[in-house]
Every structure is written in structure tokens, then in C-alpha cells.
Structure 1
Amino acid sequence: MVEMSQNAIVRLGRWLGLGPNPLRRRWDRIEAAGRVTALIGLVVSVVAGIIVATGAYQAHERAVQSEARSSQPATARLLTDPAMMNPPPAASSGRAAGSGFAQARWTAPDGSVRQGTIPAAAVWRAGQDVTIRVDANGTPVGDNRANRFTPLSAVMMAISFPIGASALLWLALLGLRALVERRTLREWEDEWRTVEPRWRKRII
């Protein structure tokens, strides 16, 4: 196992162009620098993904806690299925029409019965009792559907950063490799045009 790990490290070092190599040409060094840069970029993307996902999750949790402090739970009975409704313009920003909202009836903190449109999960059905949060006036607040920003959502966000970065860096390395091959071939051709006449004279 240790030997396999050492071999993997050696192969990685060779791929990155580390270590002395008298046969390495200028464009080989440029390609090696590109590989090192890509590896650093991948590590940075992993760290950036973790930082962004952690910050987003913490911001969401702070918003949820703030909402919890300024509201209280209430039981609402759905009067319609969520898929049977089109959300009103004021509530449908960024949401698909025909889903995500339902008519419901609930009791406000002052004891009065209220009726209106609330966010609803697609699996909810008319006649079902669900828990929502309302302010002191009995108005629903926040998004009460089961689509909270969970730790799993944060993990997926953190993973998406290095995945996207890997795709971009791989394309960049492919482009650099093609450029290096073209330049190296051109240099070999130029050098051969210089050397070939001398060799021909010696052979003749």
C-alpha cells in the first residue's frame, strides 16, 4: 500500500513536470506550469465551494431563526390541492405557475379565522392540516413548504464548485496541450530544416 502511494506521488510529480529533466523544452515547461495552475485552481475551488456553501447555510439558518422569533405556528387546513391553483402575481415571483400554492383557512393569534393563499408542497392535498407560521396580525410569513436549505443542499452546493471548475480546467488543459503540440512540432520542423542539410552533406 505504501509503495502504491509512493508510485502515485511519483506519477503525479512527473505529470506536473516536477523534478529535473534536461530534455524538457520551453513549451514543456509552459504545459507543466499550466498543470500546476490547474491543480491549484481545483484546490481553490474546493475551498471556495465549502466557504460559499457554509455561508449560505448559516445565512439561511439566521433567517429561519429571525422568522421564528417574529412569528408563531398556526394550523392551516388546505381548501384546494396545490396543483389546482395559479399563484397571485405578488406571490409568484420566481415560482412556476400552477403549483406551489394553495387556498387554506387558519386561526390568527387573536382568535379570528383567516383564509388566503399559502405556499404549499406538491404532495399536500385539500383537507390536510399543515403547520404554517404567521405574524402577530395572522398573516403567513416565510416559505412554509418543505424545501428548506438543508445541510444536504449545502453539501451539493459545495460539490458543484469543484465539479464545474474541473470541467473548465480540463478544457483549458486540453487547449493548452493542443497549443503546446503545435508549437513543439513547429520548432522541431524549424530545427530539422537547419540540421538536415548538414546531415545530408555528411551522408553524401
Structure 2
Amino acid sequence: MGRTRGAGPRRVWLWRWRSNPLRRRSDLVEAWLLLATLLLTLFAGAVTGLATAGAVDRFLAERRAQSRTAPAVLVEDAADASPSPVTEDGSGDGRVWVKVRWTAPDGTGRAGRAEAGPGDKAGSVVTVWTDDAGRLVSEPPSGADARFQTVMAGLTVTAATGVMVVLGGGLVRSRIQQRRSKEWEAEWRLVEPAWRKRMTG
């Protein structure tokens, strides 16, 4: 069967890699640039993503190793304390911030604020998290929460690295295309007079 009437020009794949009289040096450079950008995006994204995930995992492990629970005694009724901040979805768990006292690892007494149930009374005991010096810290992520933070950090850095590489490759490619356009214009200025003479001759 013959070629269907009205069909568009046949697409020639990898034409920049093939030797032909229309291929310019800039075409081959652009082809290598596209390949390098693809490989660098995959390689750099994977390396930085894994490195970031490992760093976050080690950081969280250090936080867990340096944090410990301690019993703290309420020094005021929870009903007289300030409520905890509302969560992102607009709800709250009903817990409140109360004044508490606890004993640091060196035996000294400490005071601060910790969350407690809204019905807890002065003298009740709650569990708080402290560091090696006995200062209050937030509960370190563990289990699924720690894995989620590690994975998200790795994916975020992977994506950011890939975007940076692609943008850099796109910038270099635009410079190549601008230079090629100038070369075409310069050559056309040389060829145009002879071409016009042939067309009008």
C-alpha cells in the first residue's frame, strides 16, 4: 500500500546520532547534553536522596538515644491551664498545657510545662520527655513516623536535585539553540542573494 495522502513527515528517531549532511556539530552536542542530563538526573537524584534519607535516619536515631521519659508531677489543676494548640485539621485532642515538676538525671529539680488531660488534678503524674541534661524535649519520632520522615526527606531532595539538573540542562540547551539560530541566520544571509537570483532568473 502506498503512503496515505495527507500524512505528516516521517519522524526519524535518534537523527542527531546519525551521520547526515544536515546534522551540525551543535546537533550532536545537544544530543550528548540530553543524554548527560538524563543520566545525571537519575544518578544525582538517587545519590542525594539516599544520602539525605540516611542522614535523617541517623539524626532521628540520635534523638531517640539522647531522649528519655521521666515522671512529672502537676503543680496546678489542668482545668486552670491553657489548652493545647489546635491541630492543622482544625481539631484538638482536649489536652492542656500545665505546670509540672520533675527530677533531672543529676538529681536536681526542674519545672516547666507539659501536656496533660483536661481533667487531671494537681499532684497527678504525667510522662515527659527529657534530654541528657534533664531539659524538656518533644517526643522523638519512632516506628512508622520515623520511616515516613526519612522517606519523605529522601524523596524531596531527590526531586529537588532532579529539577536543578533539568533546569541546568535546559539552560545550556537554550544557549545551544540560540547559537544555532544565529548560525542559520548568518548562513542564510550568504545564501539568500544567490537563491533569490535563481528563483527570479
Q: TM-score, normalised by structure 1?
A: 0.60
SS in 2 for 1:140: coil
2:169 corresponds in structure 1 to 173
Deviation digits for residues 10-47 of structure 1, max 9, x if unmatched?
Answer: x9x84xx7742523322222322322232233221222
2:91 corresponds in structure 1 to none
Residues 48, 157 of structure 2: 8 Å contact kept: yes
Which runs of 5 or more structure 1 residues have no equivalent in the other structure? 1-10, 85-100
Report how far residue 50 of structure 1 moved. Answer: 0.6
Which residue identity is paired with 2:182? R
1:75 aligns with 2:71: yes
1:160 aligns with 2:156: yes
Which runs of 5 or more structure 2 residues have no equivalent in the other structure? 1-10, 76-80, 86-96
Residues matched between the structures, number = 164
Report how far residue 159 of structure 1 moved. Answer: 0.8
> 1:113–1:184: structure 2 CA closer, same or farther, 3 Å change rule?
closer
2:27 corresponds in structure 1 to 28
Residues 72, 126 of structure 2: 8 Å contact kept: yes
> Over alpha carbons, which structure has the higher Rg?
2
1:5 corresponds in structure 2 to none
Which residue identity is paired with 1:132? W
Report how far residue 116 of structure 1 moved. Answer: 0.7
**Identity of counterpart residues, as a percentage?**
26
> 1:39–1:103: structure 2 CA closer, same or farther, 3 Å change rule?
farther
Report how far residue 186 of structure 1 moved. Answer: 1.3
Deviation digits for residues 120-166 of structure 1, max 9, x if unmatched?
Answer: 5xx7556472243476xxx5257243556812111111111121123
> 1:109–1:175: structure 2 CA closer, same or farther, 3 Å change rule?
closer
Which residue identity is paired with 1:35? L
Q: Distance in 2 between matches of 1:134 and 1:189?
A: 70
Q: Distance in 1 between matches of 2:141 and 2:62?
A: 16
2:192 corresponds in structure 1 to 196
Q: Greater helix share, 1 or 2?
A: 1
1:1-204 equivalences in 2 (<5 Å): 14=14, 19-22=17-20, 23-43=22-42, 44-65=44-65, 67=66, 73-78=69-74, 80-81=81-82, 103-106=99-102, 114-117=109-112, 120=114, 127=120, 129-133=126-130, 140-141=134-135, 143-145=137-139, 147=141, 150-203=146-199, 204=201
RMSD value over aligned CA atoms? 3.8
Q: Distance in 2 between matches of 1:78 and 1:29?
A: 74
Which deviates more, 41-50 or 31-40? 31-40
Q: Distance in 1 between matches of 2:105 and 2:175?
A: 70
Deviation digits for residues 43-93 of structure 1, max 9, x if unmatched?
Answer: 21222211232133124314533x36xxx6422245555859xxxxxxxxx
Q: Distance in 1 between matches of 2:37 and 2:116?
A: 47
